Structure 1
């Protein structure tokens, strides 16, 4: 039985494993909604080491061994899980490596037939070596004593186990270097933002985790040679590198997704005033009644669908209200925007906000609609889907802004 206390390892390993599985679960959920090879490989890249960290926690390590009635079986499961990460990381690095010549295309879309041939060749190496590792483990006779924290240095003197450990570390180290190299290359191609930061964190995590490989190989080599005094490299410094690297890699995968979720939630809530305006004008535009303020604040699921639907309903409302838009309002808003030096996006948003406010008021007061040929053209109706949401969010921001009130006052005075 190891004299090293279990509690710190239980806390760290279970904490990292649980956090990583949350991220993996989100990736799996995203993959089920939008199936793609890339998302599936990312999910496996996170899930495999997450499982290894959970199993490596001494409390579960010993429980699994008791259930299986086989000492140190959990070590094999942990190392196979990390080897699964290595395989997935190598595949991911191939998928993320752009062809040498790819014009006007995103660097992520690189899964060509040549890519899959490289993937198959690399997976063939794992397909051969993993069974070899399993055979070496079971023929090495490392079933006793049970050593959840000191397996490597305890059994490295057995040739089969030493080869098993070196194969595992070699595959892991190769995968870490490969994914770090590719991620650093991608980060240099990406614009500033959460995606670039996330890719850099994955690269940094891979580099840090290489410290685990170095520490383990030194400890295994000295133990095999019968030299003592280096066990701390395997039991303390190595796991510290592994834990820090895992946290950085998990944060790298999670960061862009969390940023995207936060942006969708912010847009969903920002569109509420504009949606309320068109809903009051024609309640038939919405699939359901407005959610309560608390329901909106607590919304965490299906935000992309909710935001897209809200944008479509606002668009329908804008088309419905066009017959009540006074061209004088469009002119006044354009003049105010020009005087304030607003850019094209803010100018369009100010015009739409003023036009819709005026149209709703005209509709509510019984003003007759204008004939089709007199409809005032509004900016943004022909915006691309990628730009439409940002335009509507800006319009919602200007809906009750002082400049919008000023434009309405000018239009009313001149009218």
Structure 2
């Protein structure tokens, strides 16, 4: 029962990966890469779903054919192997002719393997139902033996080629962040697949030599290795999409939070008032767009009240006091904006010398400086046109 639950969970994980890819597939239904990924994830999920021991029993009972689930699961695994090879080939790219030739070679080879599996099954004696140890139990049975060897060799060849292509491709995606992380995880997953093949082939070969003491590798060790492989492959496909989405959301939340001090400082600017009221439960991107627009309109309204001459004197004073130039400019901009808000509240429409009116740096820099101004202790008396630091 535990193994069935584990395999169901892996199938669900692969299904989640498919759901992550589904929006891209719907947006670009003619994109062969999107279709390839979707097919691979669907095939992988089907393999783990039908390989669960409880589902093996149900399928055998439903069809009325002893061990029918064996060639069925092996067929799904064969399709999964072909999809893996084609996905990596298409990822790496190439000429149209070379891709077409490779496609025919892969699908032709694994299609022939698929037919051979069912022929061997139909010719073999498989009347004794085996739910967990079919590979070792029938390792010496004519035709069933060939079926088992064919699916394992087909899987091993696909894993070796896919692993080699992934690791050779890894060097080409360095510096791409989440994409590289996904490729590395996929590479580890497919490399671990070799461990699965070893745990399956070793006891089969041992059976050919009359040994049964290694059967535990197929019945006890192979299933958790397969589960680990499934998790890594699912994670490898989910990671680039989920990571990029999380990064974008984190960046949006950071910008929204960073603009907070400036937005609060400008809330009394009439032109910045917006008739649209957004709750804190509104989508983050919508709230960020609203805050950006609010800040931009307010700064534009304050432009005639910003004394850039005083701002430039403030910059020089801060630099003379030992503040780094970039930080001095940011603090001076924040002080200039605060002074402009005070002038607006006092009923002024322009600075005393209109020729000195102007703009300041970007809103995010100003907002960060405002936060520091509001939290810094007072060190000097307030000058005309500047903001207090208390």
TM-score band, normalised by shorter chain: 0.7 to 0.9
Corresponding position: 1:96 with 2:91:
yes
Distance 2:328 2:125 in 1: 75
Q: Normalized against structure 2, the TM-score is what?
A: 0.76
Deviation at 1:149, TM superposition (A): 0.9
1:331-367 C-alpha deviation (Å, 9 max, x unpaired): 4796669965477xx8998788777777777667665
State which of 8, 23, 31 in structure 2 corresponds to 1:29.
23
C-alpha distance in 2 between matches for 1:411 and 1:74: 85
Match status 1:172 vs 2:155 = yes
Q: Which residue of 2 aligns with 1:413?
A: 386
Deviation at 1:220, TM superposition (A): 2.6
Q: 5+ residue gaps in structure 2?
A: 377-381
In 2, distance between residues paired with 1:350 and 1:111?
A: 54
CA positional deviation for 1:70:
2.6
Q: Contact 1:65 / 1:72 at 8 angstroms: preserved in 2?
A: yes
With over 3 angstroms needed to count, the CA separation of the structure-2 counterparts of 1:289 and 1:268, relative to structure 1, is farther
Q: Map residues 378-389 of structure 1 onto 2, 5 A cutoff.
A: none
Distance 1:311 1:153, change over 3 A: same
Q: Which residue of 2 aligns with 1:289?
A: 277
What displacement does 1:53 show?
1.3
Deviation at 1:193, TM superposition (A): 3.8
TM alignment of 1:114-263, pairs within 5 A: 114=97, 116-117=99-100, 118-142=102-126, 144-189=127-172, 190-191=174-175, 193-224=177-208, 226-263=210-247
> Equivalent residue for 1:56?
51
Distance change (3 Å), C-alpha of 1:398 and 1:154:
same
Give 1:13's aligned residue. 7
Distance in 2 of aligned mates of 1:264 and 1:211: 37
Give 1:150 deviation, angstroms: 0.9
Please list, as runs of the form range in 1=range in 2, the aligned pairs for 1:394-409 lying within 5 A after superposition: 395=365, 398=368, 400-403=370-373
Q: Over residues 65-98 of structure 1, what are the superposed CA-to-partner deviations in whole Å (9 max), with x where a residue is unaligned?
A: 222323322223322222222111101211222x
Instruction: Report 1:351-390 matches (<5 A).
Output: 367-368=348-349, 376=358
Query: 1: CA distance between counterparts of 2:334 and 2:278?
Result: 20
Equivalent pair of 1:201/1:248 in contact (CA under 8 Å):
yes
Alignment equivalent of 1:307, drawn from 285, 288, 301: 285
Question: In the aligned structure 2, how far is the partner of 1:347 from the partner of 1:129?
Answer: 71
Query: Any unmatched runs of 5+ in structure 1?
Result: 1-6, 98-109, 300-305, 381-391
1:79 is aligned, of 68, 74, 78, to: 74
How far does the alpha carbon of each residue in 1:264-291 deviate from its partner, in whole angstroms, 9 at most, with x for none? 22223223343755888667878x6323
Name whichever of 361-370 and 82-91 sits farther off: 361-370
User: Which of the two has higher C-alpha Rg?
Assistant: 2
- CA distance, structure 2, for counterparts of residue 396 and residue 175 of structure 1: 56
Contact 1:95 1:115 in 2 (8 A): no
Superposition CA RMSD, Å: 4.1
Shift of 1:308: 7.7
Judge conservation of contact 1:333–1:404 (CA < 8 Å) in 2: no
Count of residue pairs brought into register by the alignment: 370
